[in-house]
């Protein structure tokens, strides 16, 4: 069965600095999708970034980028120039082509002013 | 503005009572989902529906029931058979189940507490 592991329950970073959140997954599939979702204290979960496994190029969305290592089954999220509004729970999620999302346990990100 | 509305935001229930959580979307999405969120755990899928009048069990469906009589609505009933119902419940929708972008759109959640 596929699993998603986020080994960092909590991370903290100084405002304006860079932080990397880790995610590993286990699958025997070759075609799948990986996601990072953000859940701020208001609780509404939103998509941060998405990566298709067939794409070699790492996805980037403004200050958010991923380091996708398919062979290592690793999918880390890098947040550059951290802002106070980045404080949230971050969830890594995996989905094979025809199945439902599988979620990691989440990483709480604290931004220090 | 389009989005997903969950109600109530907070709900208290006595043991042995059934409660229904409401989820409405105006995004014209085909698929809708109910997740349960507990501290220190990832989201766990309770039920999902890909089309009206059809739904499938997720990983933790026992003690829950749903209906999908309208495209916009996907209410979740937490029955007295659910052994540990105190949790945060999230409703989500997506354009279509199966092969799509995979992006889910979420409501703000409902916190259920059993007294």
Summarised one tens digit per residue, pLDDT across range A14-62 is 999 999 999 999 999 888 999 999 999 877 899 999 999 999 899 999 9
pLDDT at A20: 98
All residues of chain B having their beta carbon less than 8 Å from the beta carbon of residue A47 are: 103-104
In this complex, do A47 and B58 lie within 8 Å of one another by their Cβ atoms? no
pLDDT over 80 (residue A98): no
Report the alpha-carbon distance of residue A34 to residue A50 in Å, rounded: 6
Quickly tell me which residue has 């980028």 as its tokens: A65
Closest by alpha carbon to A34, among A103, A109, A80? A103
Q: Which of A35, A97, A106 sits opposite B99 (nearest CB)?
A: A97
- Which of these, A84, A88, A85, A89, lies nearest to A113 by C-alpha position? A84
8 Å CB contact between A66 and A76: yes
Minimum Cα–Cα distance from A95: chain B residue: B102
The mean of the pLDDT values for chain A is: 94
**Are the C-beta atoms of A79 and A94 separated by less than 8 Å?**
no
Q: What is the pLDDT of residue B101?
A: 64
The pLDDT score that the predictor gives to residue A91 is 97
CA distances from B32 to B61, B67, B72, B77 (A): 15, 11, 9, 15
Q: Which residues of B36-73 are buried (b: 16+ CB within 10 A; e: fewer)?
A: bbeeeebbbbbbbbbeeeebeebeebeebbbebeeebe
Distance of CA B54 to the CA centre of its chain: 15
For the CA atoms of B38, B42, B44, B49, the dihedral, rounded to the nearest 10 degrees, stands at 120
Task: Say how many C-beta atoms besides its own lie within 10 A of residue B88's C-beta.
Answer: 15
Query: Looking only at Cα atoms, what is the longest distance across chain B?
Result: 41
Whether residue A101 and residue B45 make contact (CB cut-off 8 A), yes or no, is yes
Chain B segment 28-87 residues within 8 A of A by beta carbon are 33, 40-45, 48, 58
Of A3-12, A80-89, A93-102, B26-35, the one with minimum mean pLDDT is A93-102
pLDDT the model gives residue B98: 54
**pLDDT over 70 for what percent of chain A?**
100
Query: For residue A1, how many other CB atoms are within 10 A of its CB?
Result: 6
Nearest to A33 among B40, B45, B102 (CB): B102
Task: Please report residues of B whose CB lies closer than 8 A to that of A94.
Answer: none
Q: Collapse the DSSP code of A84 into the 3-class scheme (helix H, G, I; strand E, B; otherwise coil) and give the result.
A: helix
- Given this model, what pLDDT does residue B1 score? 67
Which residues does chain A have within 8 Å of residue B10's beta carbon, measured at their own beta carbons? none
Judged by a CB distance cut-off of 8 A, whether residue A68 touches chain B is: no
Residues of B in contact with A101 (CB under 8 A): 43, 45, 102, 104
Instruction: Give me the residue from A47, A98, A103 closest to B42, CB to CB.
Output: A103
Segment A82-97 shows an average pLDDT of 94
Asked if the Cβ–Cβ distance from B98 to A98 is below 8 Å, we say yes
CB atoms inside a 10 Å sphere around CB B28: 10
Q: Which two tokens stand for residue A9?
A: 């329950």
A104 interfaces chain B, CB cutoff of 8 Å: yes
Q: What is the pLDDT along chain B (115 residues), one digit of tens a residue?
A: 679 999 999 999 998 899 999 999 999 999 999 999 998 888 999 999 999 999 999 999 999 999 999 999 999 999 988 889 999 999 999 987 555 566 899 999 999 999 8
| Phi, psi values for residue A86, rounded to 5° | -80, -10
């Amino acid at each position: 069965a596929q699993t998603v592991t986020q080994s960092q329950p909590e991370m903290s970073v100084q405002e304006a600095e860079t932080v990397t959140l880790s995610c590993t997954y286990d699958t025997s599939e070759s075609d799948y999708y990986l996601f990072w979702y953000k859940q701020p204290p208001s609780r509404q979960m939103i998509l941060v970034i998405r990566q298709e496994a067939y794409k070699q190029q790492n996805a980037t969305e403004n200050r958010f980028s991923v380091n996708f290592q398919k062979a290592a089954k690793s999918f880390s999220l890098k947040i550059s120039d951290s802002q106070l509004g980045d404080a949230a729970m971050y969830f890594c999620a995996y989905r094979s082509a025809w199945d439902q999302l599988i979620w990691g346990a989440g990483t709480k990100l604290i931004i220090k002013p | 503005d389009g989005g997903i509305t969950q109600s109530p935001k907070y709900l208290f229930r006595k043991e042995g009572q059934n409660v229904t959580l409401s989820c409405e979307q105006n995004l014209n999405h085909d698929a809708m989902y109910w997740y349960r969120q507990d501290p220190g755990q990832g989201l766990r899928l309770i039920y999902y529906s890909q089309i009206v009048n059809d739904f499938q069990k997720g990983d933790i469906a026992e003690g829950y029931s749903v209906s999908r009589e309208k495209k916009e609505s996907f209410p979740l009933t937490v029955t007295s058979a659910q052994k540990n119902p105190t949790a945060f419940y999230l409703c989500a929708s997506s354009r279509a189940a199966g092969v799509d972008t995979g992006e889910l759109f979420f409501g703000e959640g409902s916190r259920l507490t059993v007294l």
